[in-house]
Amino acid sequence: MAWFNRKDKGIQTPTTAKKEAPDGLWYKTPSGKIVHMRELKNNSYVSPEDDYHVRIGSKEYFEILFDNNEFKELDAEITSADPLKFVDSKPYPARIAATQKKSGLTDAVRSAVGKMHNKDIVIACMDFGFIGGSMGSVVGEKIARAIDYSLKHKIPFLMISKSGGARMMEAGFSLMQMAKTSAKLALLSEAKIPYISLLTDPTTGGVTASYAMLGDFNIAEPGALIGFAGPRIIRETIGKDLPKGFQSAEFVLDHGFLDFIVDRRSLKKKLTTLLELLEN
């Protein structure tokens, strides 16, 4: 019998001896490309084969942008109250507590100060993993305080938006954050302190209608969904099919609402260059 012929048919390895690949070791992009998570992280969470920009949060953006991932977080302990005593499938405080436990975040935005290529910068970054990155009172307050820090220390401000819009559990209190953050940004403009707004996937609703579109430069990542209402709502309202690529960063750029699109792998370098231009 040849050496390569099986003596016994079938797989003989007992179930207890089989080894499973651990979860989270590989990432599959929407186009079907498989990437090892280590390679993805080393490539700024961009798939090297199809350039797909994976959704990431404040932890990853701070790693990418701050020198040596060194920064001082601002107002980290602020958490949401429940002024409306809101209840849907569960009370709002219970939803907040469950989301905090699951995500390890206190709310949908983190702000920090540090250095980017040896230049001081304040960064506020939203986390979609916290109730869809929804904008409530805490989000508005933390952004307002981050802007105050920029004003006091005369440091450029970068806002990284990633949100489904206003947080319905806070109703009018949520909508008030649009006016509050916009007013704070007007002070930043009067003081001639640079403000760059980075729109990532997705940026929608009241966030788009306020601070996300008020930058001295409005920039976006490739393929990001950017809009106010979602495409399904618009389609059903106007009764017409929407253009191909509607509300993509590329579509928004072509129609004059963005200054440019930046690949995440060159984001830190592009931002530094931009700030140097604004300083001169």
For the residues 226-254, what does the mean pLDDT come to? 91
Average pLDDT, stretch 212-238?
Answer: 93
**Which residues, in sequence order, are bridge partners of residue 122?**
113, 157
Per residue in 80-117, pLDDT (tens digit) is 999 999 999 999 999 999 999 999 999 999 999 999 99
By CB atoms closer than 10 A (0-12, 13-18, 19+), residue 228 is: middle
Q: Are 148 and 111 in contact (CB under 8 A)?
A: no
Output the CA angle 46-50-56, nearest 5 degrees.
25
Among 72, 74, 276, smallest CA distance to 194 is for 276
Q: Say if CB 97 and CB 127 are below 8 A apart.
A: no
| Cα-only R_g, the chain | 22
What integer is the mean pLDDT of 205-234?
A: 94
Token pair recorded at residue 48: 């090297």
Q: Residue 231: what pLDDT?
A: 82
Instruction: Please tell me the pTM assigned to this model.
Output: 0.90
Q: What is the pLDDT of residues 141-173, one digit of tens each?
A: 999 999 999 999 999 999 999 999 999 999 999
